[in-house]
Amino acid sequence: MAPKIVDREEKKREIVMAAMEVFSEKGVANTKMIDIARAAGIGKGTIYEYFKNKDDIFINLFELHFTEIGNAAAEVMGRYDDPAEILQQFVEITVSFLINEDHNFAEIMLDIWAEGIREHNEEINRVFNLDAVYSQYRDVIIQILQDGVDKGTFCSMDTTFTASLFIGALDGILLQWLMRKDLFDSATLTDNFMKIFINGIKKEVVK
């Protein structure tokens, strides 16, 4: 009987997703490698065949999630033509990846980031390069906004400033939600945020 071929990348993904469950339940600081191994249904020794340590899992979790957000956003931008609809879909994707009932990724990221600062962990702090993350996110929003201006959907604007304002406002409302989840649900967050923002940048139709 031929030995079973293991897809290493898929196995790594399974371990990372199991780690996210444990981080959500126990918190980053209280999670040990054995906890992640048990959640993934593998032995403690096996987990070290894929990851050097817990920091390595942090990094892979961060990179995996933002890669998936980027892929989903690229798919949306290729499927829709209306810039307002693209922006709406982009926000819905971002919020759904960061916040859901099973894995609150945004909360985990804050926890990991805080852990990196507390422990002066250079490797984690290098990966959690907020300037690089914001730059990539801002570039996508600028592209959508400029497309809207070119098509006459959005009014003339400083797209870099508006994209920065957009990200700052979204960050702020997400942070408030993380602290007080009874304020509103994620669907209300997305819908109301987009209504206010889109109404502010849409070009008025002259009758």
- Number of domains into which the chain is organized: 2
CB within 8 A of 76, min separation 6: which ones? 86, 89, 90, 93
Q: Are the C-beta atoms of 109 and 59 separated by less than 8 Å?
A: no
Q: Are the C-beta atoms of 155 and 203 separated by less than 8 Å?
A: yes
Structural domain including 76 reads: 54-201
In DSSP notation, 113-149 reads HHHHHHTT-HHHHHH--HHHHHHHHHHHHHHHHHHHH
Which comes out higher in pLDDT, residue 105 or 14? Answer: 14
Q: What is the 8-class DSSP label of residue 180?
A: -
146 within domain boundaries: yes
One domain, residues 84 and 43: no
Q: Report pLDDT for 205.
A: 52
Q: What is the 8-class DSSP label of residue 41?
A: T
206 within domain boundaries: no
Task: Say whether pLDDT at 127 is over 80.
Answer: no
Structure tokens at 121: 């962990």
Q: Report pLDDT for 8.
A: 85
Which comes out higher in pLDDT, residue 169 or 121? Answer: 169
One domain, residues 83 and 174: yes
207 within domain boundaries: no
Which comes out higher in pLDDT, residue 66 or 120? Answer: 66
Q: Report pLDDT for 133.
A: 77
Tokens 């959500």 correspond to 24
Which comes out higher in pLDDT, residue 25 or 112? Answer: 25
pLDDT in tens, 143-200: 999 999 999 999 999 999 999 999 999 888 888 887 887 887 777 878 888 889 988 8
Domain termination residue (choose one: 12, 31, 51): 51
One domain, residues 126 and 139: yes
Nearest CA among 57, 78, 94 for reference residue 173:
94
Across 66-80, 102-116, 150-164, least confident range: 102-116
Q: What is the 8-class DSSP label of residue 153?
A: S
Nearest CA among 84, 191, 193, 192 for reference residue 141:
84
